[in-house]
Amino acid sequence: MHYSDTTSATLTHIFYHLALDPGQVSKLREEIASHVDSGDITHQKIQRLDHLNGFINETLRLHPPVPTAMARLTPPEGITIGETHIPGNMTVWCPPYAMSRSKFRLSCRRPTRKTNYTM
């Protein structure tokens, strides 16, 4: 099923990268501890942790659980993205695996990205 397959694959790759770089475990623990009091670790308490989010995003960049497909149909009048015009009724594919490992790194070089953590 989509929900559990994507999440379990992502968790597996997160633990793989933590095993490769154990220093990250203490760094992530420190960041989480600084935002969590004695109560439960809730989604609200940890949703804005830059390093944790960077680690998850970087794992998803290297190991996107949906590595390809995600086809979309262009509108009948076509569409212009940047300087490229794509005619209407064309099927366009955005393969995350290739895009995020490309030297252009389209998906992860956003100016709004809060961490430059890369594996």
Which residues in this chain contact ligand HEM in the complex, by CB under 6 A?
Answer: 2-3, 6-7, 10, 65-66, 70
- Closer to ligand HEM by Cβ: residue 67 or 88: 67
C-beta separation of 78 from 87 below 8 A: yes
Which H or E element spans position 56? helix 50-62
Q: Which is nearer to ligand HEM, 33 or 70 (CB)?
A: 70
HSE-up of residue 25 (Cα within 13 Å, Cβ side): 8
* Closest approach of ligand HEM to the CB of residue 6, in Å: 3
User: Closest CB to ligand HEM among 33 and 75?
Assistant: 75
Instruction: Write down the least CB distance from residue 65 to ligand HEM, Å.
Output: 4
Identify the CA nearest to 14 among candidates 66, 61, 68: 61
